[in-house]
Chains A and B, each alone.
Chain A
Amino acid sequence: MMRFMQWLHRWVSLILIIQVLLWIISAAVFSLMGHHGMSGHQYMRHVHPPILEKTAPVWPLENVRKSYPDADSIVLRSVLGQPQYQIKQEDNWVYLNARDGHIWQTDTELATRLAEASYNGPGEVTDVTAITSTDEVIDWQGNGFRVDFADDLNTRVYVDADSGQIIEHRNTLWVIADWAFRLHFMDYSGERSFNHLLIWSAGLFALWFSLSGLILLLRNIAQGDFNPRRKPTWLEQLQRDQQPIASSCGGGGTCGLCKVTFTGDQIPAITPAERSMLSAAEVQGGLRLACQHRVRPQDEVELANADVATHQLTLVNKRDLTPSLTELTFTAERAIDYAAGQFMQFKIPHKEAALTRHYSMATKPGSNQLVFTVRHMPAPTADLPPGVGSTFLCQLQPGDQVEAIGPFGDFVLSSQPQRKQVFIGGGAGIAPLRALIQAELDASQPRDCVFFYGARNSNELCYTGEFSVAEAVDYTPVLSEPAAGDNWTGPVGFVHTVAEQWLATQDVQTLDVYVCGPPPMLKATMAMLAKAGVPRDNIRFDDFGI
């Protein structure tokens, strides 16, 4: 239910966010301008009609009654001292000059005088144009004039010629307000209608959007998220205690990295987030996401890897393997017990904050030295900075220190005795794969190893000698763009296509496959393995870069 609310809130907001922002911005325009500011009437004078006695009609009312026997009402009034009959028949109005009974006429000169009489601004008339319709008075059509005044607001006065009445005053502020109305009402015809299909749909979406938000907010209140004295979640508690625990979503229950094991008698019930992030076996085994549970006194919690600790590493050696890969060798002040394929989380100082970057150990465990291969991330374009982590690490000099937490990761060797071990990698993916292969060769009864490694050209290949001489390893380097001087005789193309051809000759049920490389290569390889029918449980991958 709550995950559905989250889903609904998120997707509806994606559709709606632009319109909601437009609503807010146009509302701000309304509120800042106010009713008067939006009216266009800044320079409008209230006209007091002259008293009729002074302009008494010559044309008798009796004659009007005879000519218009169906008139529902007959009005006599004065237009700038000229008497005028207004005759209403059904929905139709007729205007007569009350001096002679002829149809009322408004010429340019009268229109100008009418406009001036209704105007109290500082400007003079600059232009009078005869019109039959205007976008600025959407429901008016007929014979009329637009009278322009030279003032700071570009006032224009619209005059109806048939009646000699002022239709409207318009100006620059009115245009701004009019656009705010168009945005607010989603009516771009200028009619300022807010009863139409588009805004009905938007209104419905907005209702769902805000109500789902309200429900989520009530959940947060019920959970006590706003109580400053609430118990922290286990994730917050462990982070506060500087315990090594990974998280990338920040407690939203969407990344699944903060796994811990509850060992006490009362293991908390799983939440919907855990149902989607954890396997049944993990739930059975007491694994939970630390962000989903508050600290309770009776809880006993173990970190997924108790060997994880913070280490000070000292750089002892640095060498370039290829133009883009640098090998860094560190010593730790105390032994780090890691499994081949695992990684360390480096703290990279950047501006005021510390960023974290993950690098896998590139050798089998057992020595007191840690070896990493770091790929330079050059600036993608001139105006973007190069990779923060790789730049920092590659600039370290022997003797410099860096802080790292670990080891982390479940990209480790399988324990299936009979299976062939297949490694597929590219680029900096060499590091964990090399550690895994070294560890496998070190075993008392090494399983057969097959290693496909993709690089652009032969300059980008590394540790070639090491893999070529190992008898238990069937090493196949693959170049995607061999250089002219490479004299390359090996396979050319993408590493996953070469691996695919080999897989076609194998019983895929008897393989363990390890994949590590840049995201496009990883994605293509995973798709290829699925197509080749390799069981999902036999595949392990390290999605470095994400």
Chain B
Amino acid sequence: MTQVTRSSRWRVWHRWLSLIFGIQMVLWSISGAYMVFFDLDYIHGDHLVQEITQPVPANIQVAPVDEVLAAYPHTQSLTLETLWLNGQQQAVYKLDGHQGEMLLNATTLTTVQLDEAAIEALAKRYYALPDPQISSVVYLTENPPTELNPALLPIWQVNFDDFGNTSLYLSETTGEMLVKRHTFWRGFDIFWMIHIMDYEDRVDIESWWLQAFIIGTFILMITGAVLLVYTISFKRKPQGGAV
């Protein structure tokens, strides 16, 4: 004939802990559900873009490697490919080395400068959905949007007028598409921020308040589990007799 009075004490703890940590638990499950339910490839925007390089036509004469290296002796890697320029595929050398990234005309070895029109034309080729509508092309040098790593500045931002408000970010030197963003990625990023509780840079998973909430929620769950034992094992009065 034990009287269970401890259950009310657990109940009080469960209520107060849920008042403090329960809201974050709700936010964790909402943000977690979002991240789980949208396919990661879709979030990454893999459906928005396509490969644009094509083989260098055999008849195009390119300058020998020795000549390139003689002109740019600090080169660490060198790539021969084509780039869409002035309405046609052109053979280019992309150099990477101590001098930074460079783009050269593969035949003449003159440097290639990409202007807004060239970037816009490239972005349209990268874009995989039908009927590309560009709403704006912006050359970003400072104050990057939160969706862009500041280390990538300066960079071209090409915005599309489409369902997901797609933004493609193209390298100012090589024209290479480095970053792609759309509404669902931005939603993912916000939910990720909520999930890890880093409201500034959205990267720090080691903050003391995140750890405090993890511990608090753990205790909340333990009190809930204890209440579960009390309530679910609570014996019902035997229902005997005919009605």
B221 x A545 contact (CB < 8 A): no
Residue A199 is within 8 A (CB to CB) of chain B in the complex: yes
Tell me if B2 is interfacial: C-beta within 8 Å of chain A: yes
Contact check, B55 vs A355: say whether CB atoms are below 8 A apart. Answer: no
B25 on the A face (CB < 8 A): yes
CA distance A281 to B55 in the complex (A): 90
Q: Which of A48, A60, A214, A546 contacts B235 (CB 8 A)?
A: A546
Mark each residue of chain B from 1 to 22: 1 if its CB lies under 8 Å from any CB of chain A, else 0: 1111111110100011011001
> A533 contacts B98, CB within 8 Å?
no
- List of B residues within 8 angstroms of A483 by Cβ: none
CA distance A114 to B16 in the complex (A): 57
Shortest Cβ gap from B209 to chain A (Å)? 10
- Asked if residues B22 and A51 are in contact (CB atoms below 8 Å), the reply is no
Question: Which A residues are in CB contact (< 8 Å) with B240?
Answer: 515, 525-527, 529-530, 536, 539, 541
Shortest distance between the CB of B125 and any CB in chain A (Å): 14
A249 to B22, CA, bound (A): 23
Say yes or no: B241 contacts A77, CB within 8 Å: no
B200 within 8 A of partner (CB)? no
B89 to chain A: closest CB distance in Å? Answer: 11
Whether B55 contacts A69 by the Cβ 8 Å rule is: yes
In whole Å, how far is A516's beta carbon from the nearest beta carbon of chain B?
Answer: 12
Beyond A31-B205, A248-B3, is A52–B225 a contact (Cβ under 8 Å)?
no
Q: Which residues of A contact B218 (CB under 8 A)?
A: 21, 24-25, 28
Provided the pairs A213-B22, A250-B9 are in contact, do residues A355 and B65 lie with their beta carbons within 8 angstroms?
no
A195 to B41 alpha-carbon distance, docked (Å)? 10
Contact with B along A267-297 (1 / 0, CB 8 A): 0000000000000000000000000000000
Partner of A536, one of B32, B35, B221, B241: B241
B4 touches A194 (CB 8 A): no
Specify the chain B residue showing the minimal Cβ separation from A57: B65
Cross-chain contact of A214 among B16, B26, B76 (Cβ < 8 A): B26
Q: B241 CB to closest chain A CB, in angstroms?
A: 3
Known: A31-B205, A226-B15, A523-B238. A21 touches B77 (CB 8 A): no
A504 / chain B contacts, CB cutoff of 8 Å: none
Instruction: State how many angstroms separate the Cβ of B203 from the closest Cβ of chain A.
Output: 7
Which of chain B's residues 200-237 have a Cβ closer than 8 Å to chain A?
A: 203, 205-207, 210-211, 214-215, 217-218, 221, 224-225, 228, 231-232, 234-235, 237
Interface size grouping (class) on chain B? 35 or more
Question: How far does the alpha carbon of A25 sit from the alpha carbon of B65 in the complex, in Å?
Answer: 55
Q: Are A72 and B241 in contact (CB under 8 A)?
A: no
Task: Say yes or no: A250 contacts B228, CB within 8 Å.
Answer: no
A522-546 contact mask (Cβ, 8 Å, vs B): 1 or 0: 1101110110011111110101111
Q: Mark A11-34, 1 if CB is under 8 A from B, else 0.
A: 001100100110011011011101
Please report the C-alpha to C-alpha distance between residue A358 and residue B1 in the assembled complex, in whole angstroms.
5
How far apart are the CA atoms of A543 and B236 in the complex, in Å? 11
Nearest-neighbour CB distance to chain B for A320, whole angstroms, equals 21
B-side contacts of A203, CB under 8 Å: 29, 32-33, 36-37
Instruction: Flag if A250 contacts B205 (CB, 8 Å).
Output: no
Are B11's CB and A61's CB within 8 A?
A: no
Checking A73, A209, A537, A544 against B29 with a beta-carbon cut-off of 8 angstroms, the contacting residue is: A209
Find the B residue at minimum CB distance from A17.
B225
Residues of B within 8 A of A49 (CB): 76-77
Given contacts A60-B65, A226-B16, contact A536 B243 (CB under 8 A): yes
In the complex the two chains form, is B79's CB within 8 Å of A10's CB?
no
Query: Could you tell me the distance between the alpha carbons of A412 and B28 in the complex, rounded to whole angstroms?
Result: 54
Give every chain A residue within 8 A of B237 (Cβ-Cβ).
Answer: 543
CB pair B78–A53 under 8 Å, yes or no, is no
In the assembled complex, the Cα of A323 lies from the Cα of B51 at a distance in Å of: 90
CB contact list, A334-391 vs B, under 8 A: 345, 355-359, 389
Q: Are B69 and A73 in contact (CB under 8 A)?
A: no
Q: Report A428 CB to chain B, min CB distance, Å.
A: 11
Q: How far is the CA of A534 from the CA of B5 in the complex (A)?
A: 35
Stretch from B56-64, B111-119, B150-158 that touches the partner:
B56-64
Q: Which of A30, A62, A66, A522 contacts B238 (CB 8 A)?
A: A522
Ranked 6 nearest A-B pairs via Cβ: A250-B8, A526-B240, A536-B241, A358-B1, A73-B81, A77-B77
- Between A and B, 8 residue pairs with Cβ closer than 8 Å are A17-B224, A17-B228, A51-B73, A69-B58, A72-B54, A74-B79, A221-B19, A534-B242
